[in-house]
Structure formats: structure tokens, C-alpha cells
Amino acid sequence: HRRFDYRPKSDPYCQARYTFCPTGSAIPLMKEEDVIEVYRLQAPVWEFKYGDLLGHLKIMHDAVGFKSSLTGKNYTMEWYELFQLGNCTFPHLRPGMDAPFWCNQGAACFYEGIDDAHWKANGTLVLVTTISGTMFNEMARWVKYDNETGIYYETWTVQASPDKKSTVWFDSYECSKFILRTYQKLADLGAVFKKIQTNYTSIILFSGEPIYLGNETSIFGPQGNKTLAAAIRDFYSPFKPHQTVREFFVDLFRIIDRVILNHQFYLFYNLEYWFLPMKSPYLKIIYEEVPLPVGSKASFGV
């Protein structure tokens, strides 16, 4: 996933159904001698059944919690879409504009408190490691960098086959990836994680080798490829970005129908368009184990 120099200003056209990070606050500076507990937080986004096609799906949202021993205060940190999931996955086809218009950004949100009932009742709230105030402050600096340079949300992982060792053409960039990056940063700073099973949700598309198509200007600009531009617009035409989570999944299944019928998918990734020659099983939503990290410091004795 490409890093960018800065986060662009949001276009006023992009309106969120729910305010992003409404109670968010700056990450506090912890006292160096503080001992901070780190919690893994996970709960279902929305549970549903869809016939026998995909059965019961575990679509989970991940976050991380902190508790300061010195102050007794709790904090939650998560990463999610500025304009909800539909906007990160589907563009708007606006009248008078040739190119699909994307309202796609993701960012970290930090706020005081952990909603114990939410995480415990529906999912997971478990202690994974303990860190010092110094490590926490280092992590906070890294979060600022990560947030300013990793700006686009990416729903899809794209790989060659369901095989574990399969080629990954494109990696997703969403809430769980931020949590995994945070854990890795803490491990690199010296945090030692407990040995517990940790699972994460991925939405995976299966495709032959992707074909690079170009960027917005080269496809939709004055010297662009009119046929390709029309094909991309047509592909995105049934999908609506402004929608509830439930409507998003209805659109997800519409996509599956089109993809299976035509064996094609147009992906917008890091501001570029790619053609995916889709192949069976086309799409899978998996909930699989990703182990907690082992720090590079400990392994190299640095």
C-alpha cells in the first residue's frame, strides 16, 4: 500500500451519514514510568445470513484499548472510514463528470473510555500485552505518521487463489490492518504479547494477473479511452455509495452476480484503475487467524 506525502482536504460533496470520530481527542502524553495495559477489542459489524451462498459471515470491526495504571483512565483507538464503508468501496457517478468520483479516506480515531458492554457482549475484550509510558508515547508518534501518509481505505484483498501461499495482487487497508500495524509497532518497541488466538476478517477477490489500465486523467481525460471509460462507468452504475451497512451488503451481492456472470472487476487502488480477470471462487469472506507479533528487537537482541 502506497504512502502519500500528506492527506488531501475532503471535498464538501463527500458527506458522512455518521460523523467521523465524534468524541475524538488528541492522544495524551503518558508519564514514562506509567504501566499501560493493552486490550484487543473486536465486535461484529453486522451479522447476517444470505441463503446457502456464503452462509453465516463474521464481519468484524477491530480496535485497541489502553488502560493507564497511574491515572486509571481507559482509551480506545480504532481506524475506519471517514465517509462510511460504501463510499470507500464504490464511487459516485455524478452528472456532468466523466470520471467516477471517490469519497474515500480512512483515519485513526482516539478517544477516552472503553465501551466494555459493547465489546464484551458481542465480541472480544482481552488483555494482550503491557507497555511502558515511553512505549506508548513512541507509538503515538508513529500513529501520527501512519495517519498522515496512509490515507485511503481499501476494502478488497485481491489474490490469485484461495491457497494459503497464493500470490496477493493487492492488499486491503482497513480497520484490522491498522490494529495489526499498531501491534507490530509495539512489538518492535519491545512489547511482549500473550500467546492467544487472534482472528480477523478479510474480503477477498480471486483474479488472474491484474491488468493496469491507467489513472483518472489517462482514462477519462480529453485524450482518454472512451470505450474503457464507458465500461468502468457501466461496471459501477448499479452501486450506491451513500448507504447503510445493510444496503452495502446488498450491493456486495450485486457485485458478485456481475463478476461471476462477466468474470470481470474494475479495481481503483492508490488512485489507479486495474482490470481483474476474475476466476472461481470469485469472492470469499474469511475469518482467519493472524498471530500476535514477535518483536524484531527481542529476536535480534538489540
The catalytic residue among 61, 88, 103, 109 is 61
In the residue annotation, 61 being an active-site residue is answered as yes
The catalytic residue among 88, 103, 109, 175 is 175
In the residue annotation, 175 being an active-site residue is answered as yes
| Sign of CA pseudo-dihedral 120, 122, 128, 130 | negative
* Residue 167 φ/ψ, nearest 5 degrees: -65, 130
Say which residue the cell 471517514 belongs to.
Answer: 82
Q: Active-site residue numbers?
A: 61, 175
